[in-house]
Amino acid sequence: MAHPYENLPATAYWKTGVAEKNPLQLSGLWTPKYQVPMDAPIVTAGSCFAQHIGRALGARGYQWFDAEPAPAWLAPEDAQAYNYGIFSFRTGNIYTARTLLQWLRLAFDEMQDPGEWWHHKGRVYDPLRPAIEPEGFESEAEARASREATLAAIRRAVERAGIFVFTLGLTESWRNAESGLEYAMCPGTLAGTFDPEVHVFHNHRHSDVLADMETTLALLKVKAPELKVLLTVSPVPLTATASGDHVLTATSYSKSVLRGVAGELTQVHDHVDYFPSYEIITHPVFRGMFYAPNQRSVVPEGVEVVMSKFFADQEAAFGPAKGRRGKGAKGGGKAARKLRTAWKEARGDEDVKCEEEMLNAFAR
């Protein structure tokens, strides 16, 4: 009698899909639900691994959307130091589903800003992104104005994007016990002062993360009905855990929860997909070859393999990428430089004009 495990493709069997293959030649790890067109604005946010995705998309000519570009005249090294061009907006890393939801709720006025700012040595730090300005802000007013600009950029990004890529990073977080505000980092580590009466640890459960992500998807659906969502899970282990568990098992818990939620959301929502960058980096089949000696950082070769599989699986499913090839980053970065070049060209051949002008004035 025939059964469902007969006549499946080679990728469905461990022997033919994995065991008999060189790990670098594994293919078909992702069957994308939808095509990522080259001319669709792509927004990236999430934990630190998300920045590799944005950079790789831009390098391949996809329209990575920089909704909060570095201002003109800021040197590239300063732009990086001030967290421009890392993600689509200057939120810094968004590690948890709850902090993503907070950012979106703040951006769309669905949450009141608790007005909490951290102070250290006369400078002001944003608890939602304490590393965004290397030396902090000079005042609360400045920090608030900067936050408002980022919230505007988030609105712009959501409303204009075709695809929202979010990399889930952590389940562990710290919150304000009174306001419930979830911080980007534990107070006192990078900025702020830790107060055990105010700052409480929270390790999100599967149901927490799922609920926050469902709320996030519902909000996005209202604000941008056509927006597609692509989830990934960061393969970068925890730096440290406050859970009381060993950091290795705490990492397993965290990543398992996030991977489970991503899988569940993909099953439930047609417009949500999951790209397995997490598996490509972490799976035992790859023998840890994409990690640096600290067994935590992902080496550039690993990122390259991840992104080459992204593009290969897109092409396998839909053929060569469609849409007009973009100019890489849209809204800032390279696009801004091109704009400035166009401006300089448009003002004309100044040398020729100069000559005419000088000859007129100083002719003897």
Partner 1 sequence: MPSPAERAAPLQGAPVPLPSLCIFGDSHIASVKHALDRGLLPHVTDHLEFWGAYGPAFRALEFRDNTILPGDAAAREMVARINGAGREALGGGDFAGYLFYGARLRMADFMPPLLETLCTGGHLSAAVQQKVARRFLRGTKAYRIACAFARATPGLTIAFAPAPLLTRGVGSPGRLYPGAEGATADQRDAIRGWLDREAAEDGIRLLHQPEETITAGYWTDPAWASDEAGQEDDPVHKNAAFAARMVEVFRDSLAG
Q: Which residues bind partner 1 (CB under 8 A)?
A: 68, 71-75, 78, 82, 133-135, 137-138, 142, 145-146, 148-149, 152-153, 156, 336, 339-340, 342-344, 346-348, 350-351, 353-358, 360-362, 364
Distance, CA of 236 to CA of 251 (rounded, Å): 9
- Among residues 19 and 346, whose Cβ is nearest to partner 1? 346
359's tokens: 């000859």
- Is the CB of residue 264 less than 8 Å from the CB of residue 17? no
Compute the least distance from the CB of residue 153 to partner 1, in Å.
Answer: 7
- Rounded to the nearest 5°, which phi and psi values hold at 96? -115, 160
Angle, alpha carbons 106-68-137 (nearest 5°): 70
- Among residues 230 and 336, whose Cβ is nearest to partner 1? 336
Compute the least distance from the CB of residue 124 to partner 1, in Å.
Answer: 10
- Among residues 123 and 283, whose Cβ is nearest to partner 1? 123
Which residue has tokens 């980092």?
185
- Among residues 134 and 319, whose Cβ is nearest to partner 1? 134
Helix, strand and coil in the chain, % to nearest 5 = 40, 10, 45
- Among residues 42 and 153, whose Cβ is nearest to partner 1? 153
Compute the least distance from the CB of residue 130 to partner 1, in Å.
Answer: 14
- Among residues 7 and 360, whose Cβ is nearest to partner 1? 360
The residue among 291, 308, 286, 275 whose CA lies nearest residue 236 is: 291
Helices (H), 195-330: 206-223, 247-268, 277-282, 300-318
Compute the least distance from the CB of residue 127 to partner 1, in Å.
Answer: 17
Helices (H), the chain: 14, 50-59, 76-81, 97-107, 140-160, 206-223, 247-268, 277-282, 300-318, 334-346, 350-362
- Among residues 24 and 149, whose Cβ is nearest to partner 1? 149
- Residue 17, classified by CB atoms within 10 Å of its CB into exposed (0-12), middle (13-18) or buried (19+), is middle
Task: Find the helix or strand (DSSP H, E) in which 119 lies.
Answer: strand 118-120
The residue among 207, 186, 210, 181 whose CA lies nearest residue 97 is: 210
- Among residues 80 and 239, whose Cβ is nearest to partner 1? 80
Compute the least distance from the CB of residue 187 to partner 1, in Å.
Answer: 22
Compute the least distance from the CB of residue 364 to partner 1, in Å.
Answer: 7
Compute the least distance from the CB of residue 356 to partner 1, in Å.
Answer: 5
Compute the least distance from the CB of residue 330 to partner 1, in Å.
Answer: 14
